[in-house]
């Protein structure tokens, strides 16, 4: 079974802090994704990566950066957390062949106070 | 810009009812449509649809795609309280370096005993 893990289930940070969210997958998938999920807005893509050290902006990259130094690990960084970044953050991975679906981690609920 | 619209946004039914969830989409160069179920954790994959008119079925859940009218429906018969979840629809284009998905806002289904 594909396993995608995220470093924390719940996180509380203060405004202005630097925040790291880590995601690890064990299926040697090339593609990894970071989403945020807010009520009524669904999943919105922040950044994705299709290979080590490769990254592309998604639909809402402002205020975020990412790092992919190893194939299995994809980190989301909030350089200076703000209250409007309070959200559920979901990581996903996907291979290039069958099966085609994305596999999701359990999510990190981040609260910025 | 790719777009996915789900309806209704929320639905409350009683056990034993049948429900139909809707997903309409606009996507450049459509490749597939996916349905996910999300309880209080990671979204889990339900179906992938690529061809019009072919029903995918898994137990009490079924889904069909209409590529001409650009929509899909997810049917759940004889609903149970365990079907309570957010149901997410996503589309995948042929293009994109990581074959990234565009998600709808989801339908929150609540099944009452």
Q: How many CB pairs below 8 Å do chains A and B form together?
A: 59
Residues B60-80: pLDDT tens digits?
999 999 988 999 999 999 999
Residue in B1, B88, B90, B98 to test binding to A, most A beta-carbons within 10 Å? B98
State the pLDDT at residue A9: 92
pLDDT at position B41? 81
Residues of chain B with pLDDT under 50: none
Q: Which two tokens stand for residue A101?
A: 């679906």
pLDDT on residue B51: 78
* C-beta of residue B111 within 8 angstroms of C-beta of residue B15: yes
User: What per-residue confidence (pLDDT) applies to B93?
Assistant: 83
Q: Dihedral of the CA atoms A39, B43, B25, B49 (nearest 10)?
A: -170
* pLDDT value at residue B54: 82
* pLDDT score at A113: 97
What's the pLDDT score for residue A24? 97
Three-state secondary structure string covering A20-88:
EEEEEECCCCCEEEEEEEECCCEEEEEEEEEECCEEEECCCCCCCEEEEEECCEEEEEECCCCHHHCEE
Considering only the beta carbons, identify the residue of B42, B100, B103 that sits closest to A107: B42
Determine the pLDDT at residue A2. 65
Q: What is the pLDDT along chain A (113 residues), one digit of tens a residue?
A: 668 999 999 999 999 999 999 999 998 999 999 999 998 888 999 999 999 999 999 999 999 999 999 999 999 999 999 999 999 999 999 987 766 788 999 999 999 99
Cβ within 8 Å, pair B105-A42: yes
């Amino acid at each position: 079974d594909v396993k995608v893990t995220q470093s924390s289930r719940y996180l509380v940070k203060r405004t202005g802090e630097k925040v790291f969210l880590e995601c690890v997958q064990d299926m040697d998938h090339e593609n990894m994704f970071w989403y945020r999920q807010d009520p009524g807005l669904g999943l919105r893509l922040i950044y994705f990566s299709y290979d080590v050290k490769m990254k592309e902006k998604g639909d809402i990259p402002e205020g975020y950066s990412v790092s992919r130094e190893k194939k299995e690990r994809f980190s989301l960084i909030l350089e200076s957390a703000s209250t409007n970044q309070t959200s559920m953050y979901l990581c996903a991975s996907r291979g290039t062949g069958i099966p085609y679906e994305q596999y999701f981690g359990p999510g990190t609920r981040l609260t910025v106070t | 810009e790719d777009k996915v619209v789900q309806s209704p946004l929320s639905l409350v039914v009683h056990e034993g009812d049948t429900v139909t969830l809707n997903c309409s989409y606009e996507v450049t160069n459509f490749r597939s449509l996916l349905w996910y179920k999300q309880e209080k954790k990671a979204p889990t994959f339900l179906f992938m649809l690529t061809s019009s008119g072919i029903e995918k079925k898994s137990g009490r859940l079924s889904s069909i795609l209409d590529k001409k009218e650009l929509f899909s429906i997810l049917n759940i018969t004889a609903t149970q309280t365990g079907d309570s979840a957010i149901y997410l629809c996503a589309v995948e284009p042929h293009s994109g370096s990581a074959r990234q998905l565009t998600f709808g806002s989801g339908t929150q289904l609540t099944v009452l005993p």
